Every structure is written in C-alpha cells, then in structure tokens.
Amino acid sequence: MTSSLWKFNAVDTTLLLLATAVDDVPSIVWYGENLPADIDVRRLQAITDLPLPMAKFDAPVPVSLFPERSSGIDCAPALRGHRDGSAFDHRFKRVAVVTQTDGLTVELADEVAGLALSIALTLHEKTGVLSIVTTLVNQSAEPYTVDWLASASMPLPGQYRECMHIHGRWGLEFQTQRSEIATGVLLLQSHRGRTSHERYPGVVVGESGFGEQTGDVMAANLAWSGSHSTTVELLSDGRLVYQAGVSLDPGELRLGAGESYSAPSVHFTRQAGMNAASHSLHRFMREKILPHWTRIQRPVHANSWEALYFNHDIKTLQALIDAAAEVGAERFVLDDGWFPARRSDHAGLGDWVVDTTIYPQGLHPVVDHVRSKGMQFGLWFEPEMVNPDSEIYRNHPDWALHLAPYDTPLARNQLVLNIDKPEVFDYLYNCIAALVKEYKVDYIKWDHNRDIVLAGDGVRSKMAKQTLACYRLIDKLTTEFESLEIESCSSGGARADWGILKYTGRVWTSDSIDAIDRVKIQRGYSYFNPPEIMGAHVGHAEAHLTGRDINIHTRAIVALQGQFGYEIDARVLDDAEIKTLRHYVALYKQHRSWISQSTTWRLESAVEHLVCSGLVSADQNTSLWFATAVSSLSSTLPGSFVLKGLQPERDYRVSLVSDNLSQLSAFTKKIPAWLNEPITLNGKLLMTVGLTLPVMPAQTAILLEVNAA
C-alpha cells in the first residue's frame, strides 16, 4: 500500500494528513474537532477519494500542502518564480517526512528545478492552534527569483461561505467587514511596507451567518509586519482554499546558490463561534508569541503627547508628571519632541540625541522627577524614519530608501531609512542603546508613521528585508536590555500583527482616543489579540481627532478594557475628575493581575448601537462586564445583559462598579432594582435570564464586577 496517513491530536482538535502515493505531497483532509483514535488509512482514502468531472485533467488533483500549476490544480499556486525567465514551473516530490509528537515536517524536492522545500506543521497541544512554516532552498548554482511563496495553503470546509476580515483607516482601525464567498477570489492585500491600517493579515472564515457563539469557523493569522496578501478562493468545482504570504516587490527575493528563505508563519484555529476562536488564539499567543514581560502586571501609563505635543520645557513637564502621579500613573512616557530641531514634525527625525537647548542637563531632571514620583520612565522613538531636514540625512542622504532617479514622496515630512544597511542598523542601535543605558529607560514607544514606497537601495527593492531588519533591531535591544519593554505604534494600529508582537508586547491600537470610536476599534482588535497588550487611554473630554465631547465615566470604562492609561493633560483636571479617575485606576489595579490570563467574551446585542463584552478570569471566579451605548439606541430599552463564561452551579455577587448611577438616573423614571445595591445570583441564571439593563442614552457606559460569592 502506497498511501500514508499522519494523525495528531491536541486538546480538542485533530489534524489528519493523507498522501495517496509514495512521493505525493500530503494533503490536509481534516483539521477540526477530535476524531476517533482508530482511523484506517484505506477507509479514509476511500471516503476522501475525489470524483473526476468532465472537461478537467485526466486524474483528480487534491489540494495539497503545496498546490502547483504543473499538477493541474485550479487554485493559485503556492510558488511562482523563475531563473531569468526560464524554469518558470516545477513539480515537487516528497522525499521525507520527519514526525514529532506535536506535528511533522514534510521535505520536498524538485531536482530538475533545483529547488528544495520544507513545510513544518505544529499542532499546539493546549489550544489546538495549527502553525505552518514554509522554507524554500535554491539548490542550483543559478539564482532563483521568487515572485510569490505562500506561507501556507489550507483547504477550507466546503460549507464555508462567509469571510470576516479587518479593515480601517488612520484613527478608525480594526473595523470588521463580512464578505460573501462567491466563485472567484477574495483578495486582501497591503503593499505599504507595514501591516497597514486598511488590511489586517487575519481572517475568520465560516458557515453563513456565523456569530460570536455559533457557527463552524476557522481563523487564520499571518505573522508578518510588512506587505502581505491573503486570498480565499472558491474553485469552480466547489472546493475552497485559503492562502497567505508576503507580498513581494518585483525581483526583491533572489536566492543565490544554497540560499534559503523562510516565509512567515500562519496560525490557524477551528472552533464553534468567533469567541471560541479568539480564546484559542489568545491562549496560544500568550504561551508562544508574546514576550515574557507581558505576564507581569501592566502599569498605568501617562503619555505626554496630547498634553504637550512639541511644546517641551522642563518646568511644564515636571508639573505634568506631578499631575499624572496624582491620578495614579505608574509609568510616564516622554513622547515626540525631545531631540534637536523637533518643534514640529518637519525636522529632526533621525538625530537621536537630546536637545540641549531645551534640556541643558540632558533628560536627567525629567527622569529624576519621574523616579521621585515612583514611576517608570518611557521614551518615544521613530527609528525607521528620517526627516530630510536633519543632520543625519544631510550627512547620509543615501541611507534613505529610494529608487533612482525618482523622488520619493514625503509622508508626515519624512522618509524611511534603509535599516537593512549595516551602517544604518548600527547607527540606530548605538543611538538608542546609549540613551537606554544613560537614562535607564524602562519602556520605548516605537513609532512608524508612514507607508513605504520606492523601498529600494537605489536599484533593488528592500521592502521585505526592511521588516526583518526591524525585528533584528528590536531583538538586539531587548536582548541587551532584558528589562526593556517596547510598544508597537504605527500612527496608531497600522502594525499590530503577530510578527511584530513576537518582539514587542504592547500595541497602540489607534491614535484616536475618542471612546466611542474606540469601542469598535477595540472589539475588532480583540478577535486576534488579548486585552492586556492593548494600549487604551483616557483622553480629554473633547476628543482631539473627532471633536466629540464624551463624559469621563465612558472614557474611563472603555479604557479599562485594555492596558489602562492617560493621554490627557492631568494639570487641568478638577477635584471631581481626579476623584473619578482615581476610582477607575483603583479598579484597574485591583483586577490587572488576572486580566493577563483572562478570557474575552464579545456579547451579541439585539439592540442596535449597544456594544457589550466581558473579561473573565481563568478560574472563573472574577469578571468585568462592559456595556456602551455608542449612539442613541434603536429601542428605548436596551434589553438584558446575558453573561458568558461563568460556572453555572456557582453563586456570584454582581456589583455596578462604574461610579455613574446618578448620571444614568437622570435619563429614566426608574432604575432596575439590582443596580441599587449588589445582588447574589446563580451563574446559570446570569447566563440565561441575565440582567435587565438601565436606560442608556447615547455615549454612556456601565461597568459590572461579578465575583464568586
């Protein structure tokens, strides 16, 4: 018998791969809920045997781990490349399979094409997440140009007909959109050199109408921070194929003799409903992706940006630091404007030394003042960028990415440095390391404020190498400075993918701190990322990006859904506002120890414009629940708050902990009785009947604490 079967089990998931000939590339014939232990390969082959329709090739073609045009498969090939126009196709054969307890590596080769390939599949035992990594090796003496190499090709269940993906723009990231899967290709791409505001590299595909709690779904997430491409393709024969990978510039990836290229990994989970998919991904991310320090209690941030912008002076900063400490901040971050000529965004970027005209003693007076208040010190950088009006650019204009003889368009008055160039890499590392060492910097806000075009060294594209060099630079810094924490900011949430989050452990989710916009931004973010790494700050009453005026309770309640902090001038707060913010800081500090292992529950509301969610501790003893009316509700009554994730046999004490009952009372003749004082209820009752919500006017929110009695 020439057929081969490989079977792997995780906590709630089975992975089956089948090859029907001795040298065939295996196909995934099942990835999903656990199957019986005694699966017979002959019977499995029989029930997965493909029929042969008319007007097709003379032999059926399965969707293998590596679809190829030469096989006759209808879907997009996993590899497109050539040797100066020749060797434009290939046919890989299986030469070896190396198995481990949690997966296998399939070794493939095409001796005629001079190419070798390995595809590593790992099934994470605790979560059922399947990770796939593909590596291509040029075994010929002649260079091979790669136009496209899929990180993974995954056959999807035939009943899937809907795809949810993440889109957006600056200031309104992580918006969800559903697309019907019809014959042809659903294509999601970014050619911008970063993940982008517009196209997050993750999708959820499933049965029509799948929801938070119901429907067979598969989530897929490409761990890459640069240009990328994802396709969901419905073939004319009814089969459905997912594919994702790096979107390469022409001629960008050219492998010399013996050189190899590993495509970024793709991570999959298959579950019932989007909540369960998120639970699986969050657990996997915490265990396998995120830096170790994200397990430590996350401090309350205070950032100087919206309080000062570029208007720096020591006395003003010291007053701001005092005010931040007064409202419970534990880390103060000095944002943009501390280096020479940086009185606007027109100049100075790239000159990473302290501006002695503002700080004659360096940053020591500011840092010392921060430390005297018991706070950590953070500093803003944008290492990958440069202003043409800077000393470093005047001395080294060739350090900027460019394609001669074209002028590179500016964005935010800046260009992009070629950080793959060794002397640029070393310059940036030495500058940042010197400042981290001198001031014992605890935290870096690492920004990236523009899309990349003409990403070359003058002749050839460096787009993908730019992303890899960024990873290396951050990794070198955090290796030398083990306690240093780094946040990924990219004019908000344009680089919030799993590629960068292997090296950073916090995301600035959006430059918009408008709490109403933030509700949906944060909800979209939660599909793939856990709450403890999401920067979520209380902004000013009038949101700087939208002009919307939002009450302080709503601003604080929304910020409590992530890593809490301030983007506010605390000097202008009155006593009542300070008291209110201290109340919410106390709640954050009370609960943050378990939030880093919490389970996120997005609730579905029948009432339009009401958004509800919760965070439940791993032991199910404690939880926080949020309800926000983002605008006027579609009905006068908001209905019931039906909780999830509790233990049905246990009793829970339910308390309204948002300090805004008097505010809500002004909009109703009667408040539901349970809101007036804590009530103890059975978990089953809370997850079936639920709690009647109060009348909620536009832009109001409530926060509940539910603890095991």
Task: Report, as residue numbers or ranges, the catalytic residues.
Answer: 447, 511
Q: What is the DSSP letter of 71?
A: G
Amino acid, single-letter form, for residue 555: R
The CA-atom distances, in angstroms, between 432 and each of 205, 400, 435 are 42, 19, 5
Among 424, 533, 425, 441, smallest CA distance to 481 is for 441
Looking up tokens 């926060």, which residue turns up? 703
435 CB contacts (<8 Å, ≥6 apart)?
Answer: 352, 354, 379, 441
Query: For residues 510 and 558, is the Cβ–Cβ distance under 8 A?
Result: no
Q: Give residue for tokens 């005297």.
A: 372
The DSSP letter of residue 533 is: G
Give buried/exposed letters for 457-476 (b at 16+ CB in 10 A, else e).
Answer: beeebbbbbbbbbbeebbee
CA distance 610 to 623: 20
Tokens representing 165 are: 């993906």
Peptide bond into 53 cis (omega under 30): no
Reading the block at residue 274, the tokens are 């989007």
Pairing state between β 376-381 and 443-446: parallel
Kindly state the tokens that stand for 211.
């929801």
Between CA 429 and CA 425 the distance in angstroms is 6
User: Would you say how long the chain is, in residues?
Assistant: 709
The span from the CA of 682 to the CA of 414, in Å, is 58
For tokens 């829970």, the residue is: 652
**Do 50 and 59 form a contact (C-beta atoms < 8 A)?**
no
Contact between 138 and 144 under an 8 Å Cβ cutoff? The reply is yes
Collapsed DSSP state (helix, strand, coil) of residue 506: coil
* CA-based end-to-end distance of the chain: 61
User: From residue 8, how far is each of 15, 30, 267, 537 by CA, in Å?
Assistant: 5, 10, 16, 43
What residues contact residue 481 under an 8 Å CB cut-off, 6+ apart? Answer: 433, 436, 437, 441
Single-letter residue type at 223:
A
SS3 content of the chain, % helix, strand, coil (to 5): 25, 35, 45
Q: How far is CA 440 from CA 363, 378, 487, 515, 521, in A?
A: 11, 9, 17, 33, 33
Phi, psi of 480 (to 5 degrees): -70, -40
Q: Is 381 helix (H, G, I), strand (E, B) or coil?
A: strand
